[in-house]
Each structure stands twice: as C-alpha cells, then as structure tokens.
C-alpha cells in the first residue's frame, strides 16, 4: 500500500479497532469528539453526482447568559487539477472555475458562510519546474482579475465570504505574489493577504516566482467573524499564527499545497497546535492528486529528473481551540468539508487556559529584539 492509495487514516481506524478501544484512541488522537453535522439531502446527492466527498461536523460551545451563540459555517474545498498541465492556460483556468463553481453551489446548499479554496487554486502547483513560462501567465490581478470577478459573483449569489488564494500579478510593477484575496459576502474585495513566509525546500524554491509578502498580519472583519489567511509554508512558523491571533483573528485559514514524503506527519500537528496555542479555530486545506509536467525537472536530491513531485495528500481539516479537530477529508478525492463552529468557544477556552494572559509577551518582545541582532550573545551556561 503506497502513499497515494491509502484513503483515510480515520476510516482505517474506524474499520479495524474494537469500539471500546476506538473511542479511547480517538479521544487521545483527536480530542473531544466532533459531532456530525446533518447536511441536506440535496447537497449529499449533488456531491455524489459531482463526484466529490462531502463531510460535515460541528464544534459546540457552552451557552452563555450575556452572549448569544455565534454559530457560523465554514467550508474548505480541496481538489485536483481538472485538465492536464499542458492544456491551454485559459482552458485550465476555466475548467477549474467550473469545478469550483459546482462545489461552491453545494456549500451554499449546506449553509456555508465563509469558504476557502486551496493555495493557487486556479493552476497546477508548477513552482517545482523552475520554468517561468507558461506558469506566470496564470497570475492575475487580485482586485480586477477574472478569478476575482468569478469569486465576487459566487459571494454575491450565495451571500458567502470567499477566500480565494491565487497567483497574483501586481500589474503596476509586474511583481508576482502568492496571495489570498478576501471577498466579502457583499461581493466587494475586502483585501488581500500575501504569503508571509516563502519556502526554499525540496522541489520548491518559490522565491523564483514571488518573494515574502508585505501585507503583514492583516485580519479581515467579516459579517461572520474575524478571519485571517496564513498561506502554506507559514504554518511551520508559530510566530506567524501567533501574530494573526494578536491582531484578533478568530479563524485562521491555511490554504496549502504539500506532498506526502515531505510533510505528511507534520500536517496534523502544526495547524492544530496553532489552534490550541492561540485560542482560535484553524482550517488546513491541501490539494489532492499528482500533477504531471511536460518538462522534466530535478529536485536537488541526487535523484533522476522526473515529471511530477509526488502525491498531494488532501486531508484538509479544522482544529478547534479546545484541542479537538475534525477528521480529515480524503487523501485522494476532491472534497468539501463543512464545519459549523460556535465562535464563542474561543473566548471560553481563553478564559479557561489564559495563554494570552500568562504569555509574558512584553518580555518576549525584548528578548526577541535582542536575539535578532547579529552580535546577539545567547544565554548559555558552561561549566
């Protein structure tokens, strides 16, 4: 059984473990059980017909006396590319729009309020090739590109906040960015969040295409809650999650593109740790499938040139501030994860654990300011 055939960790546990052990295993691995969310029959049928996985879960919070519940529904979409990577670019983009359109329609049937797509969702993740052409042609204006217009239509039609991570071309200077466009449910572009940390690892030195983002740790106040977007490699940096949280994020999305051999054992750890440490919800989204490129490329690992860089393992999930999480979506199929969450949980967990109050942040600000100097003297005791 190889990495790309194994469908789901959770399904495997469910089908082999005896009931009593299963519940203990799930408690230790995933925390307080995430309840299933009843989804409308029309949505279930449509997902089945359109050949994608649809799963729904909900995180509850305690009832409070002074605040009503703040229950909202978030949708995470993971998908493979639709056409082959050598199809005409506009065809590839249009096919992806069409696929996402039919998945978002199902999200709307499920009452989703905020939806987020995977990293650079309109294109193959071609940055392994190190070719500029034709991949830079996928880049679009964040404010006025076709993809943003497409998402604005979805947002208005379904009264849904849309987080659309694309390859951005800033046309004034012809600079490229890896950018999430945040579109309000009114259809207006609320703003954008550029990938804050750029990987130079394995097949990806993405600074061939775009540099570190300059949008800081912006949080977007939407009708359904305060959200932020921490793109892909930024999930390895705890300070990054932390700073979105310090700016007030209640939900942090992590649209990603990552493959099994590189990162799979880290995938369930990092976004979940961020939800725990920052008293917020985190949503980790990864694409699925294997993408083949016409030109071969090498990986700087002494191995032969090849045409794909491995299997994107999907497994998108949502983690809650109480340490619990949903099961992951499939490792192999397109999927929509619908999660209802009561945002009151964030404050309740903060009041319980108080990490922000016990964090001694003023001291860390000083220590870090000191530590980043080139002549920093580390605090090392010797005999």
Task: Based on the shown chain and the rule CB under 8 A, indicate whether residue 62 belongs to the binding site for a second copy.
Answer: no
76, 116 Cβ separation under 8 angstroms? yes
Binder to a second copy among 157, 200, 294, 295 (CB under 8 A)? 200
Taking residues 26 to 55 in sequence order and writing x for each that binds a second copy by CB under 8 A, - otherwise, the string is -xxxxxx-----------------------
Report the SS3 class of residue 197: coil
Q: Which residues contact 279 (CB under 8 A, 6 or more apart)?
A: 245, 321, 346, 347, 349, 350, 353, 355, 356
Tell me: does residue 297 bind a second copy (CB under 8 A): no
Among 188, 294, 296, 298, which residue sits at the site for a second copy (rule: CB under 8 A)?
188
Subset of residues 88 to 147 that bind a second copy, contact rule: CB under 8 A: none
Under the binding rule (CB under 8 A), the answer on residue 367 touching a second copy is yes
Which of 119, 140, 168, 291 is labelled catalytic?
119
Nearest to 322 by CA among 336, 342, 302, 307: 342
382 is catalytic: no
The number of residues that bind a second copy (CB under 8 A) is 88
- How far is residue 247's CA from residue 243's CA, in Å, rounded to a whole number? 6
Q: Taking the complex as a whole, how short is the minimal distance between the CB of residue 274 and a second copy, in angstroms? A: 8
DSSP string for 107-156: HHHTT-SEEEPPTTTTS--GGGS---TTGGGG-B-TTTSHHHHHHHHHHH
Active-site residue 232, yes or no?
A: yes
Phi, then psi, of 347 in degrees rounded to 5: -70, -35
Q: Quote the least distance from Cβ 91 to a second copy, whole Å.
A: 34
Chosen residue from 218, 290, 292, 299 binding a second copy by CB under 8 A: 218
Of the candidates 369, 314, 319, the one whose C-alpha atom is nearest the C-alpha of residue 345 is 319
Among 199, 225, 289, 327, binds a second copy (CB under 8 A): 199
- List 26, 55, 195, 226, catalytic entry: 195
Give yes or no for residue 311 binding a second copy (CB under 8 A). no
Cβ proximity of 126 and 293 under 8 Å: yes
Are 331 and 313 spatial neighbours (Cβ–Cβ below 8 Å)? yes
**Which segment (117-125, 168-176, 191-199, 303-311) binds a second copy by CB under 8 A?**
191-199
CB of 122 or CB of 178, closer to a second copy: 178
Listed in sequence order, the residues at least 6 apart from 241 whose beta carbon sits closer than 8 Å to its beta carbon are: 230, 234, 235, 252, 274, 277, 278, 282
Report the DSSP beta bridge partners of residue 182: 163, 191
Active site residue 119: yes
383 near a second copy, rule: CB under 8 A: yes
Axis crossing angle, helix 9-16 with helix 19-30, rounded to the nearest 10: 150
Region 223-252 residues binding a second copy, contact defined as CB under 8 A: 226, 233, 236-239, 241-243, 246-248
Q: Binding residue for a second copy (CB under 8 A) from 25, 35, 87, 90?
A: 25
Of 7, 301, 300, 289, residue with least CA distance to 125: 289
By CB under 8 A, name the one of 49, 266, 295, 298 that touches a second copy.
266
The single residue among 111, 145, 165, 268 that binds a second copy, judged by CB under 8 A, is 268
| CB-based contact 69:61 (threshold 8 Å) | yes
* Contacting residue, 264, 290, 307, 308, with a second copy by CB under 8 A: 264
CB of 298 to a second copy, least distance (A): 16
Give the total residue count for the chain.
383
Contact status: 298 vs a second copy (CB under 8 A) = no
**Which residue from 84, 98, 295, 369 is in contact with a second copy, where contact means CB under 8 A?**
369
Catalytic residue set: 119, 195, 232
């Amino acid at each position: 059984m190889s990495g790309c055939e194994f469908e789901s960790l959770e399904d495997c546990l469910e089908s082999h473990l005896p009931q009593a052990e299963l519940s203990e295993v799930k408690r230790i691995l995933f925390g307080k059980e995430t309840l299933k969310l009843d989804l409308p029959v029309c949505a279930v049928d449509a997902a089945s017909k359109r050949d994608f996985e649809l799963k729904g879960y909900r995180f509850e919070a305690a009832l409070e006396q002074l605040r009503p519940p703040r229950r909202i529904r978030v949708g995470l979409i993971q998908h493979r590319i639709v056409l082959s990577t050598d199809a005409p670019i506009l065809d590839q983009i249009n096919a992806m729009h069409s696929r996402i359109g039919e998945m978002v329609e199902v999200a709307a049937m499920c009452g989703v309020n905020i939806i987020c797509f995977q990293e650079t969702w309109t294109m193959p993740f071609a940055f392994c090739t190190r070719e500029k052409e034709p991949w830079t042609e996928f880049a679009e204006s964040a404010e006025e590109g076709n993809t943003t217009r497409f998402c604005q239509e979805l947002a208005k039609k379904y009264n849904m906040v849309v987080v659309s991570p694309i390859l951005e071309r800033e046309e004034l200077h012809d600079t490229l960015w890896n950018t999430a466009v945040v579109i309000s449910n009114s259809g207006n572009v609320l703003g954008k969040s550029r990938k804050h940390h750029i990987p130079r690892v394995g097949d990806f030195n993405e600074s061939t295409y775009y540099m570190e983002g300059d949008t800081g740790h912006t949080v977007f106040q939407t009708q359904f809650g305060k959200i932020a977007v921490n793109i892909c490699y930024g999930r390895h940096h705890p300070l990054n999650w932390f700073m979105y949280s310090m700016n007030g994020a209640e939900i942090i999305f992590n649209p990603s593109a990552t493959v099994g051999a590189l990162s799979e054992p880290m995938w369930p750890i990092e976004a979940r740790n961020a939800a725990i440490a920052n008293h917020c919800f985190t949503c980790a989204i990864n694409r699925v499938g294997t993408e083949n490129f016409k030109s071969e490329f090498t990986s700087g690992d002494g191995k032969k040139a090849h045409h794909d860089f491995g299997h994107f393992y999907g497994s998108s999930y949502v983690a809650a501030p109480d340490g619990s999480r949903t099961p992951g979506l499939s490792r192999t199929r397109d999927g929509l994860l619908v999660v209802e969450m009561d945002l009151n949980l964030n404050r309740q967990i903060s009041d319980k654990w108080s990490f922000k109050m016990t964090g001694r942040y003023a001291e860390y600000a000083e220590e870090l300011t000191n530590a980043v100097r080139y002549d920093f003297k580390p605090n090392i005791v010797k005999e």
